Amino acid sequence: MKAFTYERATSPAKAAAAAVANPGARFIAGGTNLLDLMKLQIETPTHLIDVNRLDLDTVRETSDGGLRIGALVRNTDLAAHKKVRRDYAVLSRALLSGASGQLRNKATTAGNLLQRTRCPYFYDTTKPCNKRRPGTGCAALAGFNRNMAILGTSADCIATHPSDMAVAMRLLDATVETVAADGSSRAIPIADFHRLPGTTPDIETALAPGELVTAVVLPRPIGGSHVYRKVRDRASYAFAVISVAAIFGKDSNARFAFGGLAHKPWRTEAADAAAAAGANAVADAALAGAKTTEHNRFKTDLVRRTLAQVYAQQEIRA
């Protein structure tokens, strides 16, 4: 690890101000992603702002019946929260499918949203990577890209976003609340929070430099039957190869979001609109424009089969 200086933030606005004043600074929450990357010198902050003592660790009901989840709420606590289990079960399920018990005890809501890709070439500092070092090229394009994205990719990066939680948040139409250095706050719809790689894969979110995530807000519950189906290389403690989050409502209405396919959780209006026509129609709509490689071509079939399974499971439940 490269040397850095350390401070404990005393308020969200002060944390943001400290980050802006210190261009080499990073916030540290659970640290489970950041410290991993710092040990490999993929991240080399010169200053860490510890946000763990900020008063952002509660889940509260909003005035319109939704939930405001503090940025520091740990993944374990969010998954186990009574209201989340009952009204947003897809979020509980997504969280519980991720990482390990130890990591979920530490990982925070904001840190999970902001975790970085698991592209093996991003991790291998001997290889070119536009995300790690802009302008050096992308080793994954012609490399072993089995786990890479097939939707929304660019000629500069085909990485996926690895979070399970974010897929459920996208399905639930969450909003990300932030505070900036000047104390001003704003709300970013989750659909606009994560970016596609384009020509700047190093810029992953809509956050401005130093902007601190303070909460994630869920709209009031929509009911329905919640499913999170994660397909991975081993039964536990592995990132998704692909995942399907779904909520089935009344009258064949349903909505879908996918993990493991793109640089952000993938959700399209066309896929939701195809719900009544069945799994294959949803897959066709969701996969429109997919660009696969020799190694990750299998992902399109995997999406179809997983959707078929999700539908079959639904019929059994109904």
Partner 1 sequence: MKDSPAALSRRAVLGGSAALCAAPAIHASANAQTAPTGKTQMIATTLKVNGKDVRLTLDPRTTLLDALREHLHLTGTKKGCDHGQCGACTVIVEGRRINSCLTLALMHDGDDITTIEGLGTPDKMHPMQRAFVTHDGFQCGYCTPGQICSAVAVLDEIEAGIPSHVTEDLDKVAFSDAEVRERMSGNICRCAAYPNIVAAIRDVAEGEKA
Ligand X SMILES: Cc1cc2nc3c(=O)[nH]c(=O)nc-3n(C[C@H](O)[C@H](O)[C@H](O)COP(=O)(O)OP(=O)(O)OC[C@H]3O[C@@H](n4cnc5c(N)ncnc54)[C@H](O)[C@@H]3O)c2cc1C
285 touches which of ligand X, partner 1, ligand SF4, none (CB within 5 to 8 A by kind)? none
Toward ligand SF4, which CB reaches closer, 57 or 124?
124
Beta bridge partners of 227: 246
Q: Which residues would be at the binding site for partner 1 (CB under 8 A)? A: 1-6, 24, 28, 30-32, 35-36, 39, 46, 48, 50, 52, 76, 79-80, 85-86, 89, 92-93, 96-97, 99-103, 105-106, 235-237
Among 33, 75, 112, 121, binds ligand SF4 (CB under 6 A): 121
* Residues 101-120 contacting ligand SF4, CB under 6 A: 117, 119
268 binds, among ligand SF4, partner 1, ligand X, none (CB under 5 to 8 A by kind): none
Q: Is 29 in the site for ligand X (CB under 6 A)?
A: yes
Looking at the Cβ atoms of 81 and 127, the one nearer to ligand SF4 is 127
Report what 119 binds from ligand SF4, ligand X, partner 1, none; CB cut-off 5-8 Å by kind.
ligand SF4
Q: Which is nearer to ligand SF4, 75 or 160 (CB)?
A: 160
Q: Which is nearer to ligand X, 74 or 255 (CB)?
A: 74
Closest to partner 1 by CB, 97 vs 147, is 97
Tell me how far CA of residue 148 lies from CA of 45, 140, 240, 286, 306, in angstroms.
27, 8, 11, 17, 18
> What's the distance, Cα to Cα, between the start and end of the chain in Å?
53
Q: Looking at 43-51, 138-146, 221-229, 308-316, which segment touches ligand SF4 (CB under 6 A)?
A: 138-146
What's the order of all strands across the beta sheet hosting 212-218?
A: 59-61, 67-70, 212-218, 175-179, 185-189
DSSP class per residue in the chain: ----EEEE-SSHHHHHHHHHH-TTEEEESS-TTHHHHHHTTSS--SEEEE-TTSS---EEE-TTS-EEEETT-BHHHHHH-HHHHHH-HHHHHHHHTSS-HHHHHH-BHHHHHTPPP--HHHH-TTS-BTTTSTTS-BTTTTS--TTS--SS--SS-------SHHHHHHHTT-EEEEE-TTS-EEEEEHHHHBPP-TT-TT--BSPPTT-EEEEEEEPSP--SEEEEEEE-SSSSS---SEEEEEEE-STT-EEEEEESSSSS-B--HHHHHTGGG-HHHHHHHHTTT----TTTTHHHHHHHHHHHHHHHHHHHH-
Q: How far is the CB of 33 from ligand SF4 (least distance, A)?
A: 14
Name which position in 34, 113, 129, 271 contacts ligand SF4 (CB under 6 A). 129
Told to check if 239 binds ligand SF4 by CB under 6 A, we report: no
Q: Identify which of residues 123 and 144 has a Cβ nearer to partner 1 in the complex.
A: 123
Residue nearest to ligand X (CB): 111
Q: Select the binding partner of residue 51 from ligand SF4, partner 1, ligand X, none (C-beta < 5 to 8 A, by kind).
A: ligand X
Q: Which does residue 236 touch among partner 1, ligand X, ligand SF4, none (CB within 5 to 8 A, set by kind)?
A: partner 1
Q: Tell which one of 122, 228, 239, 248 touches ligand X (CB under 6 A).
A: 239
Give which of 270, 246, 249 is closest to 257, Cα–Cα.
246
Residues within the interface to ligand X (CB under 6 A): 26-34, 36, 51, 71, 98-99, 103, 106-108, 110-112, 114-115, 162-165, 212-213, 239
Residues within the interface to ligand SF4 (CB under 6 A): 117, 119, 121-122, 129-131, 138-140, 157-159, 201
